[in-house]
Amino acid sequence: MKDKGIRKYLLYAIGEIILVVIGILIAVSINNANEIRKTKNNLKNILTTYKEDLKIDTIMVGRALDVLDARKKMFDQFLSDSVTIEMYKKNPSAMGLILNYNPFELQQKGIRLLEKFNSNTETDSLVTIILANHNAFDKLIKETHERIGSDISDNMNYLKYNHPWIGDLLLGKLENPAMYEYFISDTYRARLAIHNMLVYGNLKPILDQYIKSTKTILVDIEKRVGD
């Protein structure tokens, strides 16, 4: 082939290669854009699920706080130095202050989806904040529930092995004088004070702070996914 023909052939070949490369780059770009869009939509759906979980948790924690607020006056009243047997006869439910509690757990569906998303994709700042916040409060609430539950079990065992009238108390039979003598004793007051600290010195501040942090995160989620 003549030199002129070779040059034309080479230019044609180079042009074909450039076109192929451009086509590949366009295809890759379109594919990347599609993947990014899918990832964003997936995250939006997961955040929506977590948002619903947060709403449920907020209601649940709010109810727990309402119960604690309602019981606080009774704790203060029966921790005072002026407690009498008559006060317990008028408010027999006060004898169960250290014997019952209803623990709860935060919703887990949304947070598990976010953990999976976070492990499979690049870090998202909002997801990182949510994971850190949820895991911190989840751990604190569970540990505090465990301490309160352990204290209640200890109180029940103490009464079971030291005061036979505990059976009557649990059955609502409140005629035994020894029962009232115990509840106005320093021994019971000390146990009531410890339980009060676990509930109002530990659990309630954690739940109050959880509600505040949840409100902030809900606003951030709504900015990302909408109402």
Looking at the predicted structure, is the pLDDT value of residue 28 above 80?
A: no
More confident residue, 121 or 104: 104
Nearest to 214 by CA among 83, 47, 58, 105: 58
Start-end of H helices in 163-198: 166-170, 177-183, 186-196
- The encoded tokens of residue 156 equal 């029940």
Please report the pLDDT score of residue 83 as a whole number.
94
Query: Is the confidence at residue 22, as pLDDT, over 90?
Result: no
Give 8 or 110, the one with higher predicted confidence: 110
On whether the CB atoms of residues 155 and 195 are closer than 8 A, the answer is yes
pLDDT at 126 over 60: yes
pLDDT for residue 196 is more than 70: yes
Tracing tokens 């539950």 back to the chain, one arrives at 149
Query: Model confidence at 118, in pLDDT bands (50, 70, 90)?
Result: confident
Torsion of CA 69, 75, 76, 80, to 10 degrees: 180
pLDDT at position 98:
95
Say whether pLDDT at 46 is over 70. Answer: yes
pLDDT score of 82: 92
The predicted model gives 179-189 an average pLDDT of 95
Give all strands (DSSP E) within 68-189, no chain letters. Answer: none
198-209 confidence digits (pLDDT tens): 999 999 999 999
Confidence category of residue 30, pLDDT binned at 50, 70, 90: low
Inter-residue contact 71 to 124 (CB < 8 Å): no
- Rounded Cα distance between 43 and 47, Å, is 6
Residue 145 identity:
H
CA distance 9 to 203: 81
